[in-house]
Amino acid sequence: MYLSYRLRALAAGAALMAGAALAQAQQALPNVVILATGGTIAGAGASAANSATYAAAKVPVDKLIAGLPELSKVATVRGEQVFQIASESFTNDNLLTLAKRVSALAKQADVDGIVVTHGTDTLEETAYFLNLTVHTAKPIVVVGSMRPGTALSADGALNLYDAVNVAASKDASGKGVLVTMNDEIQSGRDVAKAINIKTEAFKSQWGPLGMIVEGKSYWFRAPVKKHTMQSEFDIDQITTLPAVDIAYGYGNVPAAQYEAIGKGKAALVHAGTGNGSVADRAVPALQKLRSDGVQIIRSSRVNTGGFVLRNAEQPDDKYDWVVAHDLNPQKARILAMVALTKTRDTKELQRIFWEY
C-alpha cells in the first residue's frame, strides 16, 4: 500500500513538473501579433477546384490562426482584424491606419514581431510603405497567398506559418519589412507581383534575401537601401498623404492623358517604356505640368527589371524631373507620397529616390 501511495505521489510530482516545464516553455516563446487585412489568404472558393475563382476576404483572423495549430510551437500568437477587404480596394487611408497600428504594436515590450496578412494585388505597395515609415528593428512580415484556403494545394497556410517563424526570429531583426511567399524571404522594398496565377508569383530583380525550410530561415543577403529605423519618415508624424497618380506609357499614347491625370496632383509618375521613355508628343504636356508645380517622376513599366537612368532618354536636369531609379511605378508612387510630406524640392526628391 505504501508503494502504491509512493508511486502515485511520484506520478503527481512528475505531472506538476511537466506542467511547469510546459508553462515555462510557452512563457519563453516570442510574442507575435497577426494583423489581418483580408485578401486571398482569407478567401474561399465554391469548390476545391477553384484556385483562381473565389471570393477574397471571407475568413476572419481567428479562424486562420485556429487552422494552424503548429503556430503554438513557434510563438505565442494573437490576431487582430484591422480590415477585411480585397487589396485592390486599399486606399491611402487604409495604409495610414495599418501603419499606425503596426507602429503602436512595435513599441510594446510584449510584442516581438508582427505579421500582416494581405491581398497580393497591392501587397508590395503596403510592404514598401511600412518599410519607409515604421521605426522599429522588430521583424515586420507581410504575407499573402495566391490560392484561397479552400483550394487544392492552397499555399496560404504554409506562407503564414513561414511568416510567423520569420517574425519570431531574432535573425530577422533590423532587415526592414519582409515578405514571405513560396518559401522565400523577400525585401518589402524590392519584391513585386510578377504573375497572377502561380504560387511563385512574387519576385525581385535582385533576388530573395533568404529561404525558409521547415520553419528555419536561411539568409543570403541583406538590404542596403534605407528603411525602418534609418528612415527620415515616421508614420507617427504623417496624417495625410499628397495626391500622386500614375500615367501609363504605350504606343500612340495621347498627351491629353497626362494633362487629365496630372492636373492638380502633387506628383505624376510616368510609367514609361524601357528606360522610362516619354513619347515626343507627351513631353510638352509633362513640361506644362511641371511648370504648374506638379513633380514629374520617370519610372519604367518593365515588369521584372526596370532601371531608369537620369538624363538618359530625357534631359531630366533641364526639365527639373525626377527618376525613380529601380522602383516600379506603383512603388515610385508610394515613395513620392511619403517624400512629399517632407519636401517639394526636386533635388531633395531625387536624393530620396537614390537612397530609399
Annotated catalytic residue 40: yes
Annotated catalytic residue 240: no
Mean pLDDT over the full length of the chain: 93
Beta bridge partners of 267: 244, 295
Query: What mean pLDDT comes out for the span 315-321?
Result: 98
pTM of the model: 0.91
Q: Which of 37, 40, 180, 199 is catalytic?
A: 40
- Domains and their CATH numbers in the chain: 30-230 (3.40.50.1170), 242-355 (3.40.50.40)
Beta bridge partners of 78: 33
Query: With contact defined as beta carbons under 8 Å apart, do 228 and 139 qualify?
Result: no
Q: How confident is the model at residue 138, as a pLDDT?
A: 98
Q: How confident is the model at residue 11, as a pLDDT?
A: 52
Q: Which of 120, 133, 136, 273 is catalytic?
A: 120
Does the annotation place 87 within a ligand binding site? yes
CA 42 – CA 57 distance, rounded (Å)? 5
Query: What mean pLDDT comes out for the span 186-213?
Result: 96
3-state SS record for 219-263? ECCCCCCCCHHHCCCCHHHCCCCCCEEEEECCCCCCHHHHHHHHC
Q: Confidence band (pLDDT; 50, 70, 90) for 156?
A: very high
Whether 8 shows a pLDDT value over 60: the answer reads no
Does the annotation place 120 within a ligand binding site? yes
Q: The sheet that has 322-323: what strands, in order across it?
A: 244-248, 267-272, 295-300, 322-323
